[in-house]
Amino acid sequence: MDLANVHFELNADLLDDIIASLQRVAGRRERRQSARQFFPLRQKVAPFYRKMPKAEQFVAVSCHDLSTSGIAFFWPGLPDFSKVIVALGKEPSLTYLGARVVRHEECGPGDRVLIGCEFVDRIGVY
């Protein structure tokens, strides 16, 4: 498949499903129960170090896949964090989600790492 001619975007219904999924599983640990959707878009992510990151701490990352329970994205090295805040959508209509790193694997040259995260909470307006 020639991806150069394929248009990808964050489907608003999928975003609603992600939020609904977070509400259904509140208080219990979830393992991936939904299908992953190939998601080669750039979204903003900020590591969470004990307090909410500032707007300038968010960086655009290339995403790999997305599901109602989590997201996988590429990071420039091994993560020194266990939680992130993910900004999904397009500005000015971003939805912020808290996520927990559940796996990471090095993937080729340039020390690029694929980080898999599980959504744990929706963050209010940022």
pTM over 0.85: no
pLDDT digits (tens, 9 = 90+) for 9-51: 666 677 777 777 776 655 555 455 578 899 999 999 999 999 9
What pLDDT score was predicted for residue 19?
73
What pLDDT score was predicted for residue 42?
95
The b/e string for 53-90 (b: 16+ C-beta within 10 A; e otherwise) is beeeebeebebbbbbbbbbbbebeeeeeeebbbbbbee
Task: Report the amino acid identity of residue 65.
Answer: D
Q: How does residue 1 score in pLDDT terms, banded at 50, 70 and 90?
A: very low
Place of tokens 């990071």: 75
pLDDT digits (tens, 9 = 90+) for 42-54: 999 999 999 999 9
Instruction: State how far the Cα of 70 lies from the Cα of 86, in Å rounded to an integer.
Output: 10
The one-character DSSP state at 53 is P
